[in-house]
Structure 1
Amino acid sequence: MNYLNEINSEGFIIINNIYSNVEIENIILEIEKVTENNTENSTFRKSDGIFAIRQFHKEIPKSIEFIFNEKLKKIIETNFGEHFFITKSIYFDKPEKSNWFVAYHQDLTISVNKKVEIENYENWTKKQNQFAVQPPNEILEKNFTIRIHLDNTTKENGALKVINKSHKKGVLRTDNIDFKHEIETICEVEKGGIMIMKPLLFHASNKTTNNQKRRVIHIEFSNQKLPKELKWSEKTNLTF
């Protein structure tokens, strides 16, 4: 089914029933196998409010066969084509009593292999031995993100809220948005469902209020070539 018109128009779409309960349990099992006795890994972030794994598809490689089932591969192929690849992945585990929240923002950086001075590549950072940089807008505009929901996600346990169509306005500071005149959507997603979104879509997450955890796998995709001096540090090709 073609969802691209809605993704391009609104900046996101929610599609439920992508994974069976068995597939979700298999993904969770692979995560638990790696993390149970290995919480000191440099790509892991653990606090009272959240547990996160950066470079998820590299740290939990056996989960990939369950994540990219036939339904998801068909959605990617039908809506985006066969030439997209993974550029970044993060696992978020928001515990039942989490008071962790994220203010409205855009996803403006990509993960690369090193820092070099290149025109229109700016705002360099380095976290956990990973370089990140803000590329030109045309790269961000062509990328997309898929969020895989391992639990029912509602407004009570920190579902994303987004500003519809905000991805069309380019890179903005939040104080340049008149939120009173914008459409905000709470993106509730069922366990086994996905959300596809554009990186420039403004999104945020509230605190958990219902004592139910929220586990999400966030995977970013691109089909863009970088300048010859740079490489995508987490690049992983897909097989269809």
Structure 2
Amino acid sequence: MSKQDIATLLDADGFIIIPDVFSNSTIDTMISVIGAADSSGPLFRKTSDLFAIRRFLQVVPGIQPLIFTERLAGMIGQLFGTGYFPVKSIYFDKPGQSNWFVAWHQDLTIAVAKKLPVEGYGPWTVKPDQYAVQPPVDILENNFTIRIHLDDTDEHNGALKVIPGSHRKGIYRPDSIDLLTTPDVSCPVKRGGIMIMRPLLMHASGRSSNGHSRRVIHIEFSRRTLAGGLEWAEQLPFFPVAEA
């Protein structure tokens, strides 16, 4: 698929799946680096249904050179242009016997370093060691997310379900969804592949039913400066190659 085809699909549907971005050996190394991390800190969440690491790129810095390869940088530069940087990162591990699911939603909040009264930003929520706030919608429309899959993922072990094109509707309530007129699609991704999506894309995920794990690295990117002294909580210096 050409760069233009990918960009067209991403614009129309709000997501795209690209296979074989990372080799099996690189994925094995990622898993080893994650497994060696000290999981005793407050940014690690572990239950019978989910293991998650917030501020993943900061808490597990050894993962950064494995993720930010020349190939990934080239993709970002070609699809979105220059100036983007990571602003939020989470690692999810849904065990094979997990009963955890995620209801329909849009990703409406960003992570910031501190809470400030800035017009157009709100409501606010507090998460471990960080603040989250809903920014103006144009910031969400400009951002994108990359999900790196460390396992083969399909509808039986929690692959995302999405409503194509829903990112074009702005912010709307999940209870307004009519799946008869706007059917959802499942987004299977093979190990080493990535899914790129817009935050306003309506999405959900189901429970695991096949006993297979679903491990995903979720990284959000922006190139926007926030208003009123607000700062991104996880901004990292990453600059894609020039736009082709």
Q: Please, what TM-score do these two structures have when normalized by structure 2?
A: 0.95
Aligned to 1:147: 147
SS in 1 for 2:123: strand
Aligned-partner residue type, residue 77 of structure 2: E
Aligned to 1:225: 225
| Matches of 2:239 and 2:138, distance apart in 1 | 25
| Matches of 1:78 and 1:39, distance apart in 2 | 36
Mapped contact 2:118–2:228 kept (Cα < 8 A): no
Aligned-partner residue type, residue 145 of structure 2: T
- The number of residues matched between the two structures is 237
| Matches of 2:203 and 2:113, distance apart in 1 | 27
| Matches of 1:237 and 1:166, distance apart in 2 | 31
Per the TM alignment, residue 239 of structure 1 is displaced from its structure 2 partner at its CA by 4.0
Per the TM alignment, residue 68 of structure 1 is displaced from its structure 2 partner at its CA by 1.5
Per the TM alignment, residue 177 of structure 1 is displaced from its structure 2 partner at its CA by 2.1
- Aligned pairs for 1:67-78 (under 5 A) are 67-78=67-78
Query: Which 4+ stretches in 1 moved above 4 angstroms?
Result: none
| Matches of 2:70 and 2:27, distance apart in 1 | 14
Aligned to 1:167: 167
* Structure 1 residues without counterparts, runs of 5 or longer: none
SS in 1 for 2:88: strand
SS in 2 for 1:148: strand
**Cα RMSD after superposing both structures:** 1.0
| Matches of 2:91 and 2:39, distance apart in 1 | 14
Aligned to 2:211: 211
Which of 21, 25, 28 is equivalent to 1:25?
28
Per the TM alignment, residue 228 of structure 1 is displaced from its structure 2 partner at its CA by 3.7
Aligned to 2:178: 178
| Matches of 2:173 and 2:239, distance apart in 1 | 37
- Aligned pairs for 1:33-52 (under 5 A) are 33-34=36-37, 38-52=38-52
Q: Does 1:128 align with 2:134?
A: no
| Matches of 1:14 and 1:228, distance apart in 2 | 36
Q: Does 1:81 align with 2:81?
A: yes
Per the TM alignment, residue 158 of structure 1 is displaced from its structure 2 partner at its CA by 0.6
Q: Does 1:6 align with 2:5?
A: no
Aligned to 1:189: 189
| Matches of 1:78 and 1:20, distance apart in 2 | 21
| Matches of 1:126 and 1:212, distance apart in 2 | 32
Per the TM alignment, residue 39 of structure 1 is displaced from its structure 2 partner at its CA by 2.7
| Further displaced range: 194-203 or 229-238 | 229-238
Cα deviation, 1:9-31, whole Å, max 9, x if unaligned, reads 10000000101111101111110
| Matches of 1:239 and 1:201, distance apart in 2 | 25
| Matches of 1:207 and 1:125, distance apart in 2 | 26
Aligned-partner residue type, residue 26 of structure 1: T
Cα deviation, 1:87-127, whole Å, max 9, x if unaligned, reads 00000000010000000000000011111111110110111
Aligned to 1:95: 95
Aligned to 2:115: 115
**% of aligned pairs identical?**
49
| Further displaced range: 141-150 or 57-66 | 57-66
Aligned to 1:55: 55
